[in-house]
Amino acid sequence: MAAQVSPTPSLSGMASVTLQSIADEIGVSRTTVSNAYNRPDQLTPELRQRVLEAADRLGYSGPNLAARTLRTGRRNAVGLLFTEDLSYVFHDPDTLAFLSGVAETTAGVGTGLMLMPVPPGLHPSESPIPFAAVDGYIVYSVPSDHPVLDLLARARGPVVVVDEPDDTDVAGFVGIDDRSGAVMAAQHLVELGHRQIGIITGRLGVDPQPGPASRARRDSATVKVALNRLEGSMQPLIAAGIDQESVPVWEAERNDPDAGRTAASEMLVANPQITALLCFTDRIAIGACQAARRLGLTVPDDLSVVGFDDIPRATTWDPPLTTISQPLIDKGRIAAQMLLDVIDGAAPKRTVLPISLTVRSSTAVPRSAADSAN
Amino acid sequence: MAAQVSPTPSLSGMASVTLQSIADEIGVSRTTVSNAYNRPDQLTPELRQRVLEAADRLGYSGPNLAARTLRTGRRNAVGLLFTEDLSYVFHDPDTLAFLSGVAETTAGVGTGLMLMPVPPGLHPSESPIPFAAVDGYIVYSVPSDHPVLDLLARARGPVVVVDEPDDTDVAGFVGIDDRSGAVMAAQHLVELGHRQIGIITGRLGVDPQPGPASRARRDSATVKVALNRLEGSMQPLIAAGIDQESVPVWEAERNDPDAGRTAASEMLVANPQITALLCFTDRIAIGACQAARRLGLTVPDDLSVVGFDDIPRATTWDPPLTTISQPLIDKGRIAAQMLLDVIDGAAPKRTVLPISLTVRSSTAVPRSAADSAN
DNA sequence: TCACCTTGCTGAATCGATTCAGTGGGCCAA
DNA sequence: TTGGCCCACTGAATCGATTCAGCAAGGTGA
């Protein structure tokens, strides 16, 4: 029973200004006015000037975006798709740094950025994501078995993947070498003299299974990033003669300090011999530090802790975290630029960003080694 | 020299599916197919079913958004306009909580959310903000003298303002009663027995003037939120017989711990008699705590600190901050819903959200009073 | 039985731009 | 003088949907 509305969204009865009205005003064709905006070389500078002045006089604010989109097929917006909860996204420093890189790049060229959160519980086909509203997608760290990827495959428009899933049939990929990052982190601990090392990973699948990660669990994991970091970490341990099977691996329920604290507590209680913790994210590492403190352990004297990502808080945390640094803002910038390029016809591309070990104060030689040195 | 592109963005030569092709497929009119999507009550359930099945069979993913927009004038997206730097936005807990409330609401109804950052240096008319791409705007905490507001006045579509500027000619306003929040905070300190109180505010204008805020500076301030908090804070002090002119007021350069620390350091060095600091944001309060610590002062024994906003970190900070709590996520939800309602024709509205004093551990009776009590 | 209403569907106009195949005039070379 | 070419601009088709007047068939009340 809604009141019938005029199709023209004219305010206060005033007819809206179009290309045609400007053309009429100065006696040229609609095409010429269009060209004044889109192909300046097609008309004389004088005429173009007259067109633009008339447009200004009539209060024309440029070609109607919907009409242009309808005609050209270009929507001038990109979608950022992620499967984490919104409340997580807006608290996670990794995601935020990434997001700010993306937003900076898209805003810089006047392209819209549409956030496309896929709520965890709901099946994606039921969520009102306007897939058709964008020219392409950035997929941020989505496990390879997530149902939304099927939907995305049917949607038109190129897809740039960040971190996961590392498929080959997408228009672009941006990530880091997780494996070698983990190698660096583990190598660092080994070199310090640690032999009793525990590992805490983030979720291994769409549905987390917090607690000790059995071999079966690891084998069926779908979160590639975690798997790669796991494989990488083992490498230096094995090289140092440590039995792979004896290394405790815990899965945290979420990537946040609370879940990290829980996992670390359990692990440290069950394995009191541990002298170092290798955490696959800084937020988990922060939780691990909290757990250590509650158990009366000092970091790094009683327990070394290594993180991953180098979020801003890694620097300000007490003690400052030793971690693997990755350029999170650049990751966003590069992913966005890559997508924009591909939309403009560039060839698919793959970029692996450089990472490095940043040693701060959360790691030290194990107490036993330090004691015997004294 | 770009290659001529076919106007139809058809992939692999396959003609795109439109309402018409579905209509042809099952032998009804285009209108009927449109009705199947938009006015289900206009046709029999059986026919509707047939239409939807045909659409599915042909791989039709719903009416083309650009065409619909062109016809209806509805863009199904809203813009979120802010004048802070992107890197600030994605680090500021207030903004993030707000943003997550907005995003939740818009995503829930399939409406696009376009971030519209106005870079600080650049004049807004030079930045490529696609004003015409949205149905309405949420303006987040923009000083009343910011040039982008003029541009916005010319853009079509309703505007909902959050916090600032509190004009009357907008379609909606969401904010809190800053003045009475500040009254509560100051009252709390006065009741504890503090008489030597310093105030640290955020920016008072588009361009910050860090340092002591002179009367002239305060009189020419354009950041209403800060002004209201300033006026509110003075009230209980005056009532307690404190000379208003004797109260030191410092302006922090930005709303972050670093700027808060700098301001607090300067103020405490210049005014060593101070026993309590009233900070107009939690992030500044956190910086103030750091400054106190560096000066060898203990919070709250030597110095009480009050914040404002109740960001997540206020709870986890050591000591947990006494602060004025405001519902930041709700603010986003409500602003977004208000805008969506107004776009749908609802009347303009004004919502002032409830706030409250949350007493934690960063405030205590002043040492002198505590001593004399002992 | 007849006028009138309701139901379910159709036809045609329309939203505002882009695009490409012209078109007429001016100019140059033969 | 003429043929050909370039320049600057125009006309008309087109993008894919929404909307509303209109129409035929069937139902209802008097």
> pLDDT tens for residues B124-170?
677 677 778 899 999 999 988 888 888 888 788 899 999 999 877 88
Distance between CA atoms of residues A289 and B320, nearest Å: 19
Residues B202-220 have a mean pLDDT of 94
CA A296 to chain centre: 35
The conformation of residue B130, written as its DSSP 8-state character, comes to -
Asked whether residue B9 carries a pLDDT value surpassing 50, the answer given is: no
Residues with CB under 7 A from strand C: A 7-8, 16, 18-20, 30-31, 34-35, 37-38, 63-64, 67-68, 70-72; B 4-7, 27-32, 35, 42-44, 47, 67, 70-71
B74 touches strand D (CB under 7 A): no
Asked whether residue B114 carries a pLDDT value surpassing 90, the answer given is: no
Higher confidence at residue A2 or residue B16? B16
Residue B79 confidence (pLDDT): 92
pTM of the model: 0.86
Residues A243-266 have a mean pLDDT of 96
DSSP-based three-state secondary structure for B264: helix
In chain A, residues with a C-beta closer than 8 Å to the C-beta of B65 are 75, 130, 132-133
Which of A90, A104, A313 would you mutate first to test chain B, the one with the most B CBs within 10 A? A90
Tell me the residue ranges of DSSP E strands in chain B. Answer: 77-82, 112-117, 136-140, 159-162, 172-176, 197-201, 211-212, 249-251, 276-279, 304-306, 323-325, 349-353, 356-358
Cross-chain Cβ contact A70/B70 below 8 Å: yes
Asked whether residue B123 carries a pLDDT value surpassing 70, the answer given is: yes
For tokens 């496309």, what's the residue? A116
B44 touches strand D (CB under 7 A): no
| Band of residue A54 on the pLDDT scale cut at 50, 70, 90 | very high
Q: Are B359 and B188 in contact (CB under 8 A)?
A: yes
Residue B53 confidence (pLDDT): 93
Tokens of B307: 């914040």
- Angular region, B211: left φ>0, alpha ψ -120 to 50, beta rest: left
Cβ pairs bridging A and B (under 8 Å): 132
Residue A8 confidence (pLDDT): 34
The conformation of residue B240, written as its DSSP 8-state character, comes to T
In chain B, residues with a C-beta closer than 8 Å to the C-beta of A130 are 65, 76, 110, 112
Residue B6 confidence (pLDDT): 33
The conformation of residue B296, written as its DSSP 8-state character, comes to T
Encode chain A in three state secondary structure: CCCCCCCCCCHHHCCCCCHHHHHHHHCCCHHHHHHHHHCHHHCCHHHHHHHHHHHHHHCCCCCCHHHHHHHHCCCCEEEEEECCCHHHHCCCHHHHHHHHHHHHHHHHCCCEEEEEECCCCCCHHHCCCCHHHCCEEEEECCCCCCCHHHHHHHCCCCEEEECCCCCCCCCEEEEECHHHHHHHHHHHHHHHCCCCEEEEECCCCCCCCCEECCHHHHHCCCCHHHHHHHHHHHHHHHHCCCCHHHCCEEECCCCCHHHHHHHHHHHHHHCCCCCEEEECCHHHHHHHHHHHHHCCCCCCCCCEEECCECCHHHHHCCCCCEEEECCHHHHHHHHHHHHHHHHCCCCCEEEEECCEEECCCCCCCCHHHHHHHC
Residue B372 confidence (pLDDT): 64
Nearest of A307, A316, A299, A310 to residue A362 by alpha carbon: A299
Which of the 13-42 residues on chain B come under 7 Å of nucleic strand D at their beta carbon? 16, 18-20, 30-31, 34-35, 37-38
DSSP-based three-state secondary structure for B364: coil
Higher confidence at residue A131 or residue B38? B38
How many angstroms is C1' of D18 away from CA of B35?
9
How many angstroms is C1' of D3 away from CA of A335?
56
Residue A372 confidence (pLDDT): 63
| Band of residue A219 on the pLDDT scale cut at 50, 70, 90 | very high
Residues B160-184 have a mean pLDDT of 93
For tokens 């600030």, what's the residue? B88
> pLDDT tens for residues B259-284?
999 999 999 999 999 999 999 999 99
Residues A270-277 have a mean pLDDT of 97
Neighbours of B178 (CB within 10 A): 26
Cross-chain Cβ contact A7/B71 below 8 Å: yes
| Percentage of chain B modeled with pLDDT above 90 | 70
Q: Are B353 and B334 in contact (CB under 8 A)?
A: yes
User: Which of A205-219, B117-131, B251-265 has the weakest average pLDDT?
Assistant: B117-131
Residue B11 confidence (pLDDT): 37
Distance from the Cα of B176 to chain A's closest Cα (Å) equals: 22
Asked whether residue A11 carries a pLDDT value surpassing 60, the answer given is: no
Asked whether residue A369 carries a pLDDT value surpassing 90, the answer given is: no
In chain A, residues with a C-beta closer than 8 Å to the C-beta of B154 are 59, 61
Which of the 52-71 residues on chain B come under 7 Å of nucleic strand D at their beta carbon? 62-64, 67-68, 70-71
> pLDDT tens for residues A147-182?
888 888 877 889 999 999 987 788 999 999 999 999
In chain A, residues with a C-beta closer than 8 Å to the C-beta of B100 are 86-87, 89-90
Residues B211-238 have a mean pLDDT of 96
Higher confidence at residue B239 or residue A143? B239
Which chain A residue shows the shortest CA-CA distance from B132?
A65
Residues contacting B66, CB < 8 A, separation 6+: A66, A67, A69, A70, A75
Distance between CA atoms of residues B291 and B266, nearest Å: 9
Neighbours of B2 (CB within 10 A): 6
| Band of residue A10 on the pLDDT scale cut at 50, 70, 90 | very low
User: Which of A47-51, A87-91, A262-266 has the weakest average pLDDT?
Assistant: A87-91
| Band of residue B4 on the pLDDT scale cut at 50, 70, 90 | very low
Residues A224-245 have a mean pLDDT of 96
Nearest of B91, B114, B90 to residue B102 by alpha carbon: B114
Of B164-173, B221-230, B364-373, give the range with the top mean pLDDT: B221-230
In chain B, residues with a C-beta closer than 8 Å to the C-beta of A329 are 87
A29 touches strand D (CB under 7 A): yes
The phi and psi torsions of A65 (rounded to 5 degrees) equal -65, -40
The average confidence (pLDDT) of chain A is 90
The conformation of residue B238, written as its DSSP 8-state character, comes to H
First to last CA, chain B: 86
Nearest of B242, B303, B225, B301 to residue B268 by alpha carbon: B303
Residue A155 confidence (pLDDT): 79
Residue B3 confidence (pLDDT): 32
Higher confidence at residue B3 or residue B354? B354
- β A304-306/A276-279 pair status: parallel
Asked whether residue A276 carries a pLDDT value surpassing 50, the answer given is: yes
Residue B116 confidence (pLDDT): 87
Higher confidence at residue A275 or residue B73? A275
- B44: the nucleotide nearest its CA (via C1') is C8
Residue A226 confidence (pLDDT): 96
Distance between CA atoms of residues A200 and A250, nearest Å: 5
Residues A244-258 have a mean pLDDT of 95
> pLDDT tens for residues A311-328?
998 998 989 999 999 999
Asked whether residue B2 carries a pLDDT value surpassing 70, the answer given is: no
Cross-chain Cβ contact A65/B132 below 8 Å: yes
Distance between CA atoms of residues A341 and A158, nearest Å: 10
Nearest CB to B66: which of A66, A108, A115?
Answer: A66
> pLDDT tens for residues B33-63?
999 999 988 899 999 999 999 999 998 888 9
Asked whether residue A336 carries a pLDDT value surpassing 70, the answer given is: yes
